[in-house]
Amino acid sequence: MNVLMIAPGYPDEMPLFCRGLSTFGAKVYGISDVPLANLPEMTRHHLSGYLQTPQLNQEDAVILAVVAEWGRLSFDRVICLWEPGVVLAAKLRVALGVAGMTVDDAIAFRNKDIMKARVAAAGIRTPRHRGATSAAEVREAAEVIGYPLIIKPIDGAGSMDTFRVDDVKELEAALKRLTHIEHVNVEEFIEAEEFTFDTICVNGEMQYFNVGFYRPRPLVARTLEWISPQTLCLRDVDSDWVAGGRQMGVDVLKAMNPGNAFTHMEWYRKSDGEVVFGEIAARPPGARTVDLMNYVSDIDLYMGYAEAELQGTFPLDVTRKYNAINIFKRAQGHGTIRRISGLENLVQRFGEHIVHIDLLPVGATRRDWVLTLISDGYLTIRHPDFEQACMIADAVGTDLQLYAS
């Protein structure tokens, strides 16, 4: 099979997906707006061809370049597992005559206003919301929806440029920081625990699912630098704690028509047990969460996704053995990492439960924690008992420290 893959080298998980597709037998042709030499070695090794295109947000120019270069090829799939390229992928399917997610469905996955309208029409509880393209429209939406509320880009990913607003003063401060965003979504703030529901689908039918949990909520983690955020993948997905979210996730998939896709949904569970839809993307979760899913069941979802995408089958044994947690670290200070403290002791105490360590080394420059959840590195731990897993993760959060100057 010939597969066209958009952005095969970014984000960090994409080389693994590229490898999975290639290893399963596909000829993978990659397109992106960077030189071939800039792609990770793993990506380059598994590509059958590569085209450097104009900037990927220049969709018409990219489509013309692809058709001119590869229009003679017969593609079986056009794949994009990076959120900003989902609509481009749908338009390329039209241009190349390839089956898959339609442009209308792709737009619904990207435009949070359209997304929530489609989900709400299926009878699923969503936050009250409005789209806005000017400061005046944001103020009007805030008056109708009421405080507290959230303002976020209409097509954003993760929690970048997302603000909680509790009153008029905070609204005005947020508007000053959002002048570079043309279209935003203004929505009711849901006071609740925040979860994920992640799936691999074939023809819209769920073949695999994961339930994840954030400690603390991403918006809090994006606000306070001292926090070591955690993302969890749960072993027990049959408990009453997550049953409502699981069912809602199935209902959302029916409303959104994902076709063949890896999906990532966020949802809320309020203190009274009510579940509320957050948003859904036609992509895998980021920040190495697919690796967490693999650690839960000792599987390889990069290969599992490839088989589901290319053959429509999903043979993996997904028996859940562990809770798996990524703990992301942010160095104290600025500049260069000078010292790492506490790691040796943590390994001595919990070594068998620490399955991956990826910290910036001494001498490396700190990353911008606002721009990347991975920040200055992370540890992955797993344990069959949820409480024990959280205890170990919290110990990593408090006892492991990186210092920069």
Task: Please provide the DSSP assignment of 288-315 as one string.
Answer: THHHHHHHHHT--HHHHHHHHHHHS---
Closest by CA position to 83, among listed 160, 11, 183: 11
- 399 sits in the region (left: phi over 0; alpha: psi -120 to 50; else beta) called alpha
The torsion angles phi and psi of 221, rounded to 5 degrees, stand at: -65, -30
Tens of pLDDT along the chain (405 residues) come to 999 999 999 999 999 999 999 999 999 999 999 999 999 999 999 999 999 999 999 999 999 999 999 999 999 999 999 999 999 999 999 999 999 999 999 999 999 889 999 999 999 999 888 888 888 888 888 888 889 998 888 766 656 678 888 888 888 888 888 888 888 888 888 899 999 999 999 999 999 999 999 999 988 898 899 999 999 999 999 999 999 999 999 999 999 999 999 999 999 999 999 999 999 999 999 999 999 999 999 999 999 999 999 999 998 999 999 999 999 999 999 999 999 999 999 999 999 999 999 999 999 999 999 888 999 999 999 999 999 999 999 999 999 999 999
Q: Which two tokens stand for residue 84?
A: 């900003």
Q: What's 191-320's CATH class?
A: alpha beta
Topology, domain 128-188: Dna Ligase; domain 1 (3.30.1490)
Amino acid in position 309: E
For 47-129, where are the alpha helices, taking DSSP H only?
59-70, 86-96, 103-110, 112-121
CATH 3.40.50.20 fits 2-100, yes or no: yes
